[in-house]
Amino acid sequence: MKIKYLFLILIIIISCKKDKNLRDSIFIEDVESPGLPIYSEWGYNTFGAYYDREVFISNDKKVPLKIIVTNDTMTFNFFGQLGNTSYNNMTMKFYFTNFLPVNYEDLLQLNDTIINLNNTNKISINIYGSNVNVTLLNGYFKVDKAQLLFVDTKETEVILSGHFEFQALINNEPIAISDGRFDIGVNQSNFFSY
Amino acid sequence: MYMNGKILFTVILCFLLIGKSYSQNQFDSVRYFGIEVGNTFLPFNIPDYSFIRADNSSNNNDNSAINLTGRYNEFQFSIKTETRSLKNKLGLLYGIRLTYITSSLGKQDIWSKNDKYFYLLVNQSNTSSEILRVNEINQNSYFIGIPLELRYFTSHNRFFRFYFKTSVDLSYKFFTKNDVIFYNDNMESYTTDVINKFAKPSPFHCNINFGAGIKLGKEGKFNINIEAFAVSFNIVKTNSSIVRTGIGGGMQVNLLIPLKF
């Protein structure tokens, strides 16, 4: 009987796992925005933006996005690299307080949602392991499409695709984050609520 | 398409003019009748399908990101007759031809069992998308039509004769079978939905060839002809709805026996 339950739990765990091919990052360079991935709505697990003239992009080494919901805040944690070297780690976190999903399926409510960014919002940036001082000036974060993905009729993940841009004082220097785009699959592997 | 139509019209016009130039005086008393088998090798490319998910990072947003393989083959079987003119140096052949075109799209590796798949978007709404894991899509079509061929022998009657040949084949599709191999066998009920993502193959097949061959056999006796086409192309590019063909070559072998009258 115990073995039966163990087998059943094993099957459930395996069936909840994301298809390995869907976990991979598919980086297709945008010829109109060199260095950045194309905007897509396939769940290619990529993001990118210009950090002034450098690129802040996802890579194959880190999970590109983790969504963390704690207390009264939902955080979008983008993990990637600054420039074309994967050793130059960079993290950008967007903090949102007016939407608190319980599970990853609740993220569907973000479909076609634009959040205007101003000095009441919070963004934190970590470059090469060091936190930098960020004072947000203006910008937006938009989820163009939030869709539930079924693979072979089985619910697999929510794909969030959108754009972002903002201007900020970073260590008292005005910096523009422009042409930002993301296309990420979210499920139990990168959605946390605690 | 307009240029291909002009070429086809020109070739057919040439055939008609040459056919009309045959007079009773020039008409040989020996007509040949025979069977033919052939294979056409055409290069192909895979169109950019927006409903197939990429699985490969790429520097360009093109098909290199999708990484699919394809296959295309044409086989012909014909029953033909030949009449000769110009002192047995010009031959006009026509008859009836059955053409079989097979094509496929997928992750197929001919050397091993295929366990790789690609993702195909089958349904999409405002807040959901449904994709299926597909191993392979196959399409087999049968055409029946009329081949028209003209060949010119470079030498007079002898056992071994070299000739140049041009031909046009006009056919109509009478049967198509599509097949989808899913990674998950339980998805077979979606076969029609997958097939409907692709355009229907054209009902017409028109192939033009330019080549040469050798005839073996005495005049008025049993002949074997072996031909190779240096240039072969389809006027209609959509005989297969899953790959697009280019210009290639082909081979034919036919056996002709004389019918004296």
What is the amino acid identity at position A26?
I
Residues contacting B251, CB < 8 A, separation 6+: B38, B39, B226, B227, B228, B229
| Rounded-to-10 torsion of CA B200, B102, B132, B189 | 80
Determine the Cα–Cα distance for residues A19 and A30; give it in Å rounded to an integer. Answer: 26
Q: Which of A137, A126, A184, A185 is nearest to A165 (CA)?
A: A137
Contacts B57 to A, Cβ<8 Å: 25-28
What is the per-residue pLDDT for B227? Answer: 92
Nearest to A42 among B53, B59, B126 (CB): B53
CB contact under 8 A, B65 and A26: yes
What's the farthest any 2 CA atoms get from each other in chain A? Answer: 65
Q: Does A146 touch chain B (CB under 8 A)?
A: yes
Give me the interface pTM, i.e. the ipTM.
Answer: 0.85
Residue with tokens 């008393």: B29
Contact B133 A151 (CB under 8 A): yes
Give which of B171, B169, B164 is closest to B230, Cα–Cα: B164
Specify the DSSP class assigned to residue A40: -
| Cα–Cα dist A172/B146, whole Å | 80
pLDDT in tens, A136-194: 999 999 999 999 999 999 999 999 999 999 999 999 999 999 999 999 999 999 999 99
Closest CA to A92 of A58, A115, A60: A58
| Phi, psi at A32, each rounded to 5° | -85, -20
pLDDT at B201 exceeding the cut of 60: yes
Please report which confidence band the pLDDT of residue A15 belongs to, taking 50, 70 and 90 as the band edges.
very low
Q: What's residue B240's pLDDT?
A: 78
Q: How many Cβ atoms from other residues are within 10 Å of residue B110's Cβ?
A: 7
Whether B163 and B154 have beta carbons less than 8 Å apart is answered as: yes
Enumerate the residues of chain A whose CB falls inside 8 A of the CB of residue B182. 152
The phi, psi pair for A105, rounded to 5°, reads -65, -25
Greater model confidence, A87 or B186? B186
Alpha carbons A93 and A75: distance in angstroms, whole number: 6
- Give the residue from chain A lying closest to B186, CA to CA: A152
- Would the CB atoms of B65 and A25 count as touching at under 8 Å? no
Mutant choice from B63, B64, B129 vs A, greatest count of A C-beta within 10 A: B129
* Residue B134: predicted pLDDT: 94
| Three-state secondary structure string covering B184-232 | CHHHHHHHHHHHCCCCCCCCEEEEEEEEEEEEECCCCCCEEEEEEEEEE
Instruction: Tell whether A26 lies on the interface with B, counting CB pairs under 8 A.
Output: yes
Spell out which residues of chain A touch residue B61, defining contact as CB-CB under 8 Å.
28-31, 38
Give the SS3 label for residue A125. strand
Q: How far is CA B245 from CA B103, B110, B240, in A?
A: 10, 20, 8
Least CB-CB distance to A31: which of B57, B61, B130? B61
Closest-CA residue of chain B to A158: B128
Residues 39-98 of A with CB under 8 A from B: 42, 44
Residue B43 pLDDT > 80, yes or no?
yes
Smallest CA-to-CA distance from A159 within B57, B56, B127 is with B127
Q: Does A31 lie at the interface with B, CB-CB under 8 angstroms?
A: yes
Minimal C-alpha gap between A168 and chain B (Å): 31
H helix and E strand count, chain A: 2, 12
Quote the pLDDT of residue A118: 84
Give, for A143, the enclosing helix (H) or strand (E): strand A134-151
Rounded CA gap, B177 and B208, in Å? 25
Q: Does A38 touch chain B (CB under 8 A)?
A: yes
pLDDT at residue A190, rounded to an integer: 95
Residue A7 pLDDT > 70:
no
DSSP-derived secondary structure for A69-136:
EETTEEEEEEEEEESS-TTSEEEEEEEE-S---SSGGGGGGGTTEEEEE-TTSEEEEEETTEEE-EEE
- The answer to whether A25 contacts chain B (CB < 8 Å) is yes
What are the pLDDT digits (tens) for A60-115?
A: 889 999 999 998 999 999 999 999 888 889 999 999 998 999 999 999 999 999 99
Q: A153 and B187: CB-CB below 8 Å?
A: yes
How far is Cα B195 from Cα B122, in angstroms, rounded to an integer? 10
d(CA A56, CA A59): 10
Q: If one looks up domain B2-49+70-107+139-182+199-260 in CATH, what number appears?
A: 2.40.160.20
Is the pLDDT confidence value at B27 over 50?
no
* Average predicted confidence (pLDDT) for chain A: 90
A11: enclosing H helix or E strand: helix A2-16
What spatial distance separates the first Cα and last Cα of chain A, rounded to whole Å?
33
Average pLDDT in the B107-124 region? 75
Residue contact B129–A111, C-beta within 8 A: no
CA A21 to chain centre: 18
A108-152 tens-digit pLDDT = 999 999 999 987 778 999 998 899 989 999 999 999 999 999 999
User: Is the pLDDT confidence value at B148 over 80?
Assistant: yes
Q: Residue B148: is it exposed, middle or buried by C-beta count within 10 angstroms (0-12/13-18/19+)?
A: buried
Chain centroid to Cα A189, Å, comes to 13
CB contact under 8 A, B129 and A31: no
Partners of residue B131 in chain A, C-beta under 8 Å: 149-151
**pTM of whole model > 0.90?**
no
Is A28 at the interface with chain B, CB within 8 A? yes
Residues whose CB is less than 8 angstroms from the CB of residue B35 and which lie 6 or more positions away in sequence, other chains included: B77, B78, B79, B80, B254, B255
The beta-carbon neighbor of B55 closest among A26, A31, A150 is: A26
Secondary structure (3-state) at A121? coil
The token pair that represents B178 in the structure block = 């599509």
Inter-residue contact B147 to B80 (CB < 8 Å): yes
Tokens, residue B224: 């074997």
